Structure 1
Amino acid sequence: MMYQFEADFPELCDVFSIGTTNEGRELLVARITDNVSQSEGEPEFLYTSTMHGDETTGYVLMLRYIDYLLNGYGTNARLTNLVDEIDIYINPLANPDGTYHGGNSSIYGAIRFNAMGVDLNRNYPDPEDGPHPDGNAWQTETVHFMNFAEEHNFVMSANMHGGTEVCNYPWDTWSTLAADNNWWVYVCREYADTVHANAPGGYMTGYNNGITNGYQWYSIAGGRQDYMNYFHQCREFTLEISDVKLIPASQLPAHWNYNYRSFLNYMEQCLFGVRGKITDSASGDAITAEVFVLNHESDSSWVYSSLPGGNYHRLLFESFYSIRYSKSGYYSQTFDNVIVHDREATVQDVELVKIMFDIDEPLAETFSIYPNPVSGNYLKLKANQSVGDITIYSMNGELCHKSNTGGTNTAFVDVSKLNAGTYIIKIVLDGKLVQQKMIRH
């Protein structure tokens, strides 16, 4: 069915595999956009479902959602606008080995876990509990999804489950509220209220009338929601879509009717907030830069512009904000009293001026660390080549941390024993010592 979508709508839909599972099944994603052969700098959005293999309502609803978007393009004005303005990715089935545990012809033998007996929603790096919070190696499915996230700059996503009915927003791992908690309450309230207007009484009315903070419900470590928010600055929430995990086929049309308008509302949110392009003032070339809301950000909530277009998307609740734009080697710029209205876009294009260095001083950014400042127990380091030793020094030269990546170019670094303050993190790349300043909150 997935590849048939591509065959029927080749100009709008590209179906591809991000990898295969332990039992050889493909993890399929449908990309839907108006120019599927190009990258236009549009916000990237992801819906994914059924990482617990026996929670299948979202699986079927996402197949129908793909069909709905493709068949509505060109005839339904709202659907056409969403496909024109958003780079949409939909993965209906994130754990096919669990769903088809009983065989490829039936889902009635479905299990929660993958083929190795691991709960995939406890298997992701966690900002508080580290790279392997469940004590297991990263599973094949986890690695494929982590690589997929690295290759993209998802602005928003949602991760669908079953077993209850609620919009679960960050954080799951700790009690601290997200910097954008008021935005999360707003978008989840919009989702649930729209459902209530189209569903019978009792559907998605538990908890706080259909929404909940994850930690206040129950805390988990290793969930994908917190991984995406903390390590990828992607706004992801967990959508529990049906009390019964494996609902009868006869109930699927009703659940579609309850939810499809909310699917559209949530996806549409990635077009709002503050957005624009960040470029070099002299050349006009797009650059990657940090977008930081002053007196607001915490726990990796700030975002970055991305290439090739230099586009950024900072989703914010209605208010006034001061926003700083910065990049190493450039003078930063701060814009005060930036006005944000709900369900509207504030466009703020920015040109950064390069600092003139001595001609022999290198400007290339050889590695990145984020979040920085870091408030959790772990930060992520990513370099443009394999890394050996990682060392962290205090500002008075004291060695505070030493570890080794084992030759990879990505590492999760434990900073839980560092006191609040400023540090220098050093790595060796291509025989040369390079360093960056990091701040521990």
Structure 2
Amino acid sequence: MSPLILFLSFLTPITALEFRYHDNSEIKDYLTQISTSNPNITYLYSIGQSVTGQELWVLALGLSPRRHTVGIPEFKYVANMHGNEVLGRVLLLQLIDDLVRGYRNNEKWALYLLNSTRIHILPTMNPDGFDSSDTDCLFSQGRFNHNGIDLNRNFPDAFAGLRRRQQLDEEKREPEVKAVIDWLRTESFVLSANLHGGAVVASYPYDNSNGGSELVNGASVSPDDDVFIHLAKIYSYKHASMHQGERCRDSRPFLDGITNGYQWYPLEGGMQDYNYVWAQCLELTLEVSCCKYPPVKELPALWTDNREALLAFIQQVHLGVKGRVFDSSGVPVHNAVVEVRGRNNMCPFRTNQHGEYYRLLLPGNYSFTVTYPGHEVLTETLTVPYGPDYYSALKHDFQLRQLAMTTGRTLPTSPSPTCNYTRIVEAGGDVNRLAWTELTAGLGLVMVLRSLSD
């Protein structure tokens, strides 16, 4: 019997996926087998290649795995960004096995998740680093990619300053990072997490700061801080022990098993901040083991520790509100600005190419403002319930009215990949004037566009 056939024989619906570290070719074979055997709920695709040409394989799972369905949120898990932090590879393969097996067995939890969510899983973002790693718990080689670059320091950074962003744009970005950036432009991800090792904690944005108003009591606080804390606690309290805040050998204890990224240690060019600022995707960094390369004998217990948390976190993609924005003719519009009062995101949240918006929010009353060129500014107050219990956020569409006469002053309709917006809010009860300053790194251009409202 060939090694491949022997390996695939362990993947039948009768036998569970083996607990061990599968190499990159075995991961590809496993994902291929799963997608071939379950074409109705899985789809295998590559988002690009590593430095040495290894494919970055993603498995999508859901009722429509090949393409986006309006009203179905997109979720993703990414593991092995640091090549020597390997537990995430095992957890995500086990998660795939669990989801597919549960769906085929008509288990309610799997049916609810896959019927309501499109889930994307990238088991290894750094296959080259994994190939060069060894099994030391803390100091193993393989963290970096084949070019010796830390991928979690190579993304554009909203706080890095114009000169630094210009330098990064002019330099060749690492292919693994470019692949993820391009991926974020093709899918409207709503929620995400990337899995690391070396600590046991759920970390949330911001990872960086420029010492501005976001810096509060040593933390770099985002406009959606309440949502991020909720998301981090969902994972930590569903985890077997993360919420206890136990410290690893080289880290401090964490209250509730969570931390603001900057408060833990500042990090420039991180992936989770990039997801949040530029891609409208709320992302956490999940540190899932003290040991970066846990012994094989510990893998079953580590899966048990993380399984419920991994599933519960996916379910949180149904927080808040979702819907579409239609123009005065009833046509869904792309790049309409959908904002929530009191949440001044550096890059305003916008509708995707289907006219959809997704806004993760905790239960409560929120004032929404929708802006689109040539149409009246629309403001509505919505009461948001706790959607995850029902596997669906609140559904609400916005219908815009065309302006009788335009002033020629409109908001930009196409967000820049280097967008960094500074809000200027003048004194007064309601917002009377909003100013957006867009720093376009490649051109070094500063453009101020103002929209006046009554």
Counterpart in 2 of 1:307? 353
Q: Which runs of 5+ in 1 are unaligned?
A: 377-394, 406-410, 416-422, 425-435
Q: 1:69 aligns with which of 94, 99, 109?
A: 99
Counterpart in 2 of 1:191? 235
> 1:279 Cα deviation (Å)?
1.6
- Residue by residue over 1:133-190, the C-alpha shift from the partner in whole angstroms, topping out at 9 and shown as x without a partner, is 7996411111111111111111111011101110000101023311111111112112
> 1:289 Cα deviation (Å)?
1.6
Cα distance change on mapping 1:203 and 1:343 into 2, 3 Å: farther
SS in 2 for 1:255: helix
Counterpart in 2 of 1:154? 189
SS in 2 for 1:196: coil
Q: Give the 5 Å matches for 1:242-321.
A: 242-300=289-347, 302-308=348-354, 310-321=355-366
> 1:55 Cα deviation (Å)?
0.1
Q: Which runs of 5+ in 2 are unaligned?
A: 1-29, 210-214, 424-434
User: Is the contact made by 1:195 and 1:259 (CA closer than 8 Å) also made in structure 2?
Assistant: yes
> 1:281 Cα deviation (Å)?
3.5
The more displaced of 260-269 and 285-294 is: 285-294
Cα distance change on mapping 1:327 and 1:315 into 2, 3 Å: same
Higher normalized strand content (fraction of residues)? 1
> 1:331 Cα deviation (Å)?
1.5
User: Is the contact made by 2:42 and 2:65 (CA closer than 8 Å) also made in structure 1?
Assistant: yes
> 1:198 Cα deviation (Å)?
9.6
**What is the TM-score normalised by the length of structure 2?**
0.76
- Residue by residue over 1:86-138, the C-alpha shift from the partner in whole angstroms, topping out at 9 and shown as x without a partner, is 111110100000001269xxxx9851000011111001100011435799641
Q: Which amino acid aligns with 1:88?
A: I
Q: Which amino acid aligns with 1:121?
A: N
Q: 2:145 aligns with which of 114, 117, 134?
A: 114
SS in 1 for 2:415: strand
The separation in 1 between residues aligned to 2:286 and 2:439, in whole angstroms, is: 39
The separation in 1 between residues aligned to 2:78 and 2:258, in whole angstroms, is: 19
How much identity, in percent, do the aligned residues show?
Answer: 30
The more displaced of 213-222 and 175-184 is: 175-184
> 1:319 Cα deviation (Å)?
2.3
Counterpart in 2 of 1:214? 261
Cα distance change on mapping 1:402 and 1:188 into 2, 3 Å: closer
SS in 2 for 1:62: helix
Matched, 1:165 2:219: no
Q: Which amino acid aligns with 1:241?
A: V
> 1:403 Cα deviation (Å)?
7.9
SS in 2 for 1:73: helix
> 1:325 Cα deviation (Å)?
1.4
SS in 2 for 1:128: coil
- Residue by residue over 1:64-101, the C-alpha shift from the partner in whole angstroms, topping out at 9 and shown as x without a partner, is 11111111115111211111111111101000000012
Q: Which amino acid aligns with 1:144?
A: A
CA RMSD for the aligned pairs?
3.4
The separation in 1 between residues aligned to 2:367 and 2:438, in whole angstroms, is: 35
Counterpart in 2 of 1:349? 397
SS in 2 for 1:18: strand
Q: Which amino acid aligns with 2:338?
A: V
User: Is the contact made by 1:196 and 1:203 (CA closer than 8 Å) also made in structure 2?
Assistant: no
SS in 2 for 1:304: coil
User: Is the contact made by 1:166 and 1:206 (CA closer than 8 Å) also made in structure 2?
Assistant: no
Q: 2:374 aligns with which of 326, 329, 333?
A: 329
User: Is the contact made by 2:192 and 2:282 (CA closer than 8 Å) also made in structure 1?
Assistant: yes
SS in 2 for 1:159: strand
Cα distance change on mapping 1:404 and 1:230 into 2, 3 Å: closer
User: Is the contact made by 1:157 and 1:236 (CA closer than 8 Å) also made in structure 2?
Assistant: yes
- Residue by residue over 1:361-392, the C-alpha shift from the partner in whole angstroms, topping out at 9 and shown as x without a partner, is 9x99774347877139xxxxxxxxxxxxxxxx
User: Is the contact made by 2:372 and 2:411 (CA closer than 8 Å) also made in structure 1?
Assistant: no
**How many residues were matched structurally?**
385
Counterpart in 1 of 2:426? none
Q: Which amino acid aligns with 1:316?
A: L
**What is the TM-score normalised by the length of structure 1?**
0.78
> 1:37 Cα deviation (Å)?
3.7
The separation in 1 between residues aligned to 2:201 and 2:440, in whole angstroms, is: 41
Counterpart in 1 of 2:21? none
Q: Which amino acid aligns with 1:195?
A: H
SS in 2 for 1:83: helix
> 1:209 Cα deviation (Å)?
2.7
Cα distance change on mapping 1:67 and 1:213 into 2, 3 Å: same
SS in 1 for 2:399: strand
- Residue by residue over 1:3-42, the C-alpha shift from the partner in whole angstroms, topping out at 9 and shown as x without a partner, is 1111111111111111111212111111111122443121
The separation in 1 between residues aligned to 2:451 and 2:93, in whole angstroms, is: 44
The separation in 2 between residues aligned to 1:288 and 1:402, in whole angstroms, is: 19
Cα distance change on mapping 1:245 and 1:338 into 2, 3 Å: same
Counterpart in 2 of 1:384? none
Counterpart in 1 of 2:432? none
Matched, 1:225 2:272: yes
Cα distance change on mapping 1:277 and 1:223 into 2, 3 Å: same
Q: Which amino acid aligns with 1:168?
A: S
The separation in 1 between residues aligned to 2:151 and 2:314, in whole angstroms, is: 24
Counterpart in 2 of 1:24? 53
The more displaced of 219-228 and 75-84 is: 75-84
The separation in 2 between residues aligned to 1:77 and 1:33, in whole angstroms, is: 14
- Residue by residue over 1:389-426, the C-alpha shift from the partner in whole angstroms, topping out at 9 and shown as x without a partner, is xxxxxx9xxxx999884xxxxx7x576xxxxxxx44xx
User: Is the contact made by 1:373 and 1:438 (CA closer than 8 Å) also made in structure 2?
Assistant: no
Counterpart in 2 of 1:9? 38
Q: Which amino acid aligns with 1:166?
A: V
SS in 1 for 2:132: coil
Higher normalized helix content (fraction of residues)? 2
